[in-house]
Amino acid sequence: DSGVTQTPKHLITATGQRVTLRCSPRSGDLSVYWYQQSLDQGLQFLIQYYNGEERAKGNILERFSAQQFPDLHSELNLSSLELGDSALYFCASSVGLAARYNEQFFGPGTRLTVL
């Protein structure tokens, strides 16, 4: 158990809908990262937040957005869902901002299925 929690574990929805994925980082971790992993694909970095502020952006679509709240939990919002958005979405957390020695601890993931 990494100490990172994600809800829900599974989500099934229809095209065009909007969903929200939630992540609670490990106690004391200020950075939260979101990743997408499609079937048989590698992990794709989406976005990083540090202490409530966006700090790095990866291959995140405009239909997707995220935020980190004052209690440090984070939400990833996915809208106008398409079939291709079906994937595992992982949240990770780390203590600090820079990844020099900051190990990222991954949550169990949310499996999103868009029908």
Partner 1 sequence: KNQVEQSPQSLIILEGKNCTLQCNYTVSPFSNLRWYKQDTGRGPVSLTIMTFSENTKSNGRYTATLDADTKQSSLHITASQLSDSASYICVVSAKKTSYDKVIFGPGTSLSVIP
Strands (E), the chain: 5-7, 10-13, 19-24, 31-37, 44-50, 53-57, 64-68, 74-78, 87-94, 105-106, 110-114
| Binding flag, residue 92, partner 1 (CB under 8 A) | yes
Closer to partner 1 by Cβ: residue 54 or 82: 54
* Minimum CB distance to partner 1, residue 111 (Å): 8
| Tokens linked to 95 | 């203590």
User: In terms of CB distance, is 61 or 106 closer to partner 1?
Assistant: 106
Query: Six-digit token pair at 35?
Result: 């990743």
Closest listed residue to residue 19, CA positions, set 72, 107, 90, 80:
80
| One of 2, 7, 15, 51 touching partner 1 (CB under 8 A) | 2
Nearest approach, Cβ of residue 67 and partner 1 (Å): 18
Residues 11-50 that bind partner 1 (CB under 8 A): 41-45, 48, 50
